[in-house]
Amino acid sequence: MRELTIESYGKINLALDVLYKRPDNYHEIKSVMQQISLKDKLIFTEINDGIVIESDNKELPLDSSNLIYKAWEKMKSISGINRGIKVKIEKNIPIAAGLAGGSSNGAATLKALNRLWDLNYTKEELMKIGLSLGADVPFCILGGTAKAEGIGEILTPIESFKDKYILLGNPGIGISSAYAYGKIKLNSYRYDIDGLIKCMENDDLSCVAKKMKNKMEDAIIKEHPIIQEIKKIMIENGALNAIMSGSGPTVFGLFHDLGKMNKAFDALLKRIDKVYKCTTI
């Protein structure tokens, strides 16, 4: 039986503007999505029938609500192939954390089955399939850095912004995207997403930091003030800026150098358990 290992990377939103609620009840966004080095490892093994999902994280749902399961069902439906798969997840990305861990796992499953079943779908075709699973799945297939519009599926690749120091602080609260969107207060103030991209292209981290904003942040912080506390600890210990990623509750800080990130890492560990050092990729 064939076996395949896929690395499943997390993502942050360097900026996230929510423009309006669409007639289809989704929200129109404008964002810059960035893949990060924090990753899960998924080991796929062919089996005769059905799907078996295993994980070292007991909090992770392993049933049909998991995007791995949904990706397997989708690939069976569109390909006409009905083969079994066993998936073992070595989970490092926190669950319901605003880091697209579930979406990334779903994207990894699409890529794995494309290879194991010799389907030969292009990356663009896989991204279209992925959109039916969730708005973040196409980016998780694309990877790198991209401007995201629409509900997140209209992606424009941006020049690489890799090897920047990112510190993640997660307070251990699960927040779903649907819940966060339901709490948001829309307004006409627009973030300078295109200006942020110019700062990134110029490799001006101080400029990038000034333009890092998240429209979801205020409403979620009101309910979970620990998010503001994490931001404060990061900035006091050398972060150029720190904001909530996506629907939260994870906060990420951008750093000029490793030494300051290590200092903030030590300070955060005195307050919360889930702290991760990583880079952009």
Q: Strand 145-150 to strand 27-47: parallel, antiparallel, or no bridges (unpaired)? A: antiparallel
3-class secondary structure per residue, 113-144: HHHHCCCCCCHHHHHHHHHCCCCCHHHHHHCC
Catalytic residue among 39, 74, 136, 211: 136
Q: Determine whether 136 is an active site residue.
A: yes
| Torsion 103-104-106-107 (CA) sign | positive
Q: Determine whether 11 is an active site residue.
A: yes
Cα→Cα distances 42→71, 213, 246, Å: 14, 32, 23
Q: The tokens of 181 are what?
A: 């969107």
Catalytic residue among 11, 30, 70, 164: 11
Cα→Cα distances 271→34, 163, 262, 264, Å: 26, 27, 15, 11
Describe the crossing of helices 123-131 and 101-116 by its angle, rounded to 10 degrees: 130
Maximum Cα–Cα distance across the chain: 55
Classify residue 249 by its DSSP letter. Answer: S
Cα→Cα distances 159→48, 145, 146, 156, 259, Å: 43, 7, 8, 10, 26
Annotated active-site positions, please?
11, 136
